[in-house]
Amino acid sequence: MMVDWDGIIDREGPAVWRTVCRLLTNRADAEECFQETFLAALELWKRERVRDEHAALRRLATARAIDRLRQRYREASRTSPAGAPPADPAPAPPDRAAADELAEHLRTALAELPDQQADVFCLHCLDGLSYREVADAIGVSVDHVGVLLHRARAKLRVALADRGPVAREVTR
Amino acid sequence: MTHDPRQPPHDDSPPDPASEQTLGRATAALRDAGAAQGISVPDDLRRSTLHALWVADAAAHEASSRRRSKAMRRVLRIAAVVAIVCCGVVIAMLARRARDSIHVHDARIPAVRGRAMAPPVTTAPALTAVGPGSGIIGGKVIAVGSPPERELIDLSAVAECREQHPDGLYSESLVVGDAGGLANVVVSLFWSDGVVMDRPPPRSPAVLDQKGCRYSPHVLAVMVGQPIVVKNSDTFLHNVHSLAIDNPAFNFGQPSIDPGRKVDPMKTPERFKIKCDVHPWMVAHVNVFEHPYFAVTGPDGAFALPGPLPDGNYTLTAWHETLGELRTEVQVNGGKANPVEFRFDLDG
């Protein structure tokens, strides 16, 4: 069966692009992750009948972006004492600097979460998928999605509280 | 008790409002971060992704085609082997059929010791017409000439057999009755003119008994698929050893009286011997037919094939273990068949 990838990229490409861009600050990484997501989708479409292409692509994009995020943090921790991944050289506007730093802290914390917890948090809290959609996308029950999300949020709260003063400052 | 801030709180403990708010702000910040890169996929990224998908899909199709092609070659190889085997089986069957035909043809001329007389006489006024109007073929098998004295079997070494035959045990290979009737001749239809001869086998078993150190009957005729039972009426050991080639062979002992042991039904027409390895003179001849139109003559040489048979021309054969085989033509007309007489020449 031929799959209309042109149409799928038209429909789902922007959402996938947003997902990878919000998790990966490096543009080259985001582009590579975008392509990897659709190549993985090609294999998935061959293997099984995909009922919800929107949720499936978000899940593939999130999982690959989290992987790439972890890889970048590992590389950065080896080369730089600060442990921050290389970001695009484009400077952020001054009024977004604090929010960007807070987002960066959350990225760092997400990279330290277990796979399923990170996936569930991103799919529900960032991409806006319902519990049911998340459960179908990662192949667990709705109740288990709730448990995974609860644990993820608990760990992220601790991680953010333990992070730098910027987060506290913005919070204040 | 102090709480380690690096560890997540217990599931039941309510989250700290400040940290919850921080998480909410961070989540919102990260959610909005994607928008900074734009909401549409860059054209060059879209094109390169489609190209990568096309290349990956084409490679997968090529691999799939290679697999299909390999599987097809394997199937063709198997089909070729099967075809060769089938051809071999067909050739073997044809060769066997031709060989059987040659055997029958050879037996028609006095193949066994050259003593059968040809051509056979097909009418005999002295005989009573068999089944007029019934279409049953019957008649008599006669031995012409001076019958040799029957061979006396030496039982001196086997006390249990000797005791059963105080007057001696004689060979059954050539038994001629008072009026010249020849016993133990198998008479059967060899060929019918358009009459279908296949019938289901009888359910009643053909019984071969071992009684008094000999097989009874000495000549057994059965139909393919007919049940066969081997008995032992003697109180001592006999061994039943089938020498069949085309049919299921068997070889077993019956140490004492045995009311009957079933053996596998025969599968194809064949003529073969059964012998006892303990008592070497004990021999039985088994004739297997695909149709029910056969009979074995008794001491008077008379026979009657089961019928009735529809009108038509038939070829009849008579086989004797030492005198060979004779054939004759028989016509059933208006439900009547003239009695048939086979004459085996003992002096020829």
Averages of pLDDT over runs of 10 residues in chain A (172 residues) are 82 89 87 91 86 88 90 76 53 66 88 91 90 88 92 90 58 40
**Residue to test with chain A: of B7, B13, B23, B54, most A Cβ within 10 A:** B23
Residue B82 distance to chain A (closest CA, Å) = 35
Residue B143: φ, ψ to 5°? -95, 120
The gap between the terminal CA atoms of chain B, to the nearest Å, is: 128
The bridge status of strand B270-275 relative to strand B238-242 is antiparallel
The bridge status of strand B228-232 relative to strand B206-210 is parallel
Of B11, B37, B57, the CB nearest to A21: B37
| A102 to B20: CB separation less than 8 angstroms, yes or no | no
| B26 to A34: CB separation less than 8 angstroms, yes or no | no
| A102 to B50: CB separation less than 8 angstroms, yes or no | no
Question: How many other CB atoms sit within 10 Å of the CB of residue A2?
Answer: 5
d(CA B78, CA A43): 33
**Residue to test with chain A: of B49, B50, B54, B55, most A Cβ within 10 A:** B49
Question: How many other CB atoms sit within 10 Å of the CB of residue B43?
Answer: 8
Residue B53 distance to chain A (closest CA, Å) = 6
Note the pLDDT of residue B276.
92
| B56 to A42: CB separation less than 8 angstroms, yes or no | yes
CB A34 within 8 A of CB A24: no
**Residue to test with chain B: of A10, A16, A123, A171, most B Cβ within 10 A:** A171
Alpha helix stretches (DSSP H) within chain B = 17-33, 43-108, 159-164
The first and second tokens of residue B14, run together, are: 């309510």
Note the pLDDT of residue B12.
54
Residue A147 distance to chain B (closest CA, Å) = 10
| Distinct helix (H) and strand (E) counts, chain B | 3, 19
Which regions of chain B are under pLDDT 50? 1-10, 101-134
| A18 to B18: CB separation less than 8 angstroms, yes or no | no
3-state DSSP of chain A: CCCCHHHHHHHHHHHHHHHHHHHCCCHHHHHHHHHHHHHHHHHHHHHCCCCCHHHHHHHHHHHHHHHHHHHHHHHHHHHCCCCCCCCCCCCCCHHHHHHHHHHHHHHHHHHCCCHHHHHHHHHHHHCCCCHHHHHHHHCCCHHHHHHHHHHHHHHHHHHHHHCCHHHHHHHC
Rounded CA Rg of chain A = 17
Using alpha carbons, select from B38, B330, B59 the residue that is nearest to residue B195. B330
Q: Which residues of A134-159 are buried (b: 16+ CB within 10 A; e: fewer)?
A: bbbbbeeeeebbeebbebbbbbbbbb
The gap between the terminal CA atoms of chain A, to the nearest Å, is: 56
| B25 to A38: CB separation less than 8 angstroms, yes or no | no
In sequence order, the 6+-apart residues with CB closer than 8 A to the CB of A3 are: A42, A45
**Global ipTM:** 0.79
A73 touches chain B (CB under 8 A): no
| B34 to A18: CB separation less than 8 angstroms, yes or no | yes
CA torsion, ordered B117, B119, B125, B126, to nearest 10 deg: 10
Instruction: Identify all chain B residues contacting A171, using CB atoms and an 8 Å cutoff.
Output: 18, 21-22, 25
Query: Tokens 């995974």 — which residue?
Result: A148
Residue A116 distance to chain B (closest CA, Å) = 17
d(CA A22, CA B130): 109
Note the pLDDT of residue B298.
92
The strand pairing partners of B215, in sequence order, are: B210
| B37 to A18: CB separation less than 8 angstroms, yes or no | yes
Note the pLDDT of residue B218.
96
Note the pLDDT of residue A90.
55
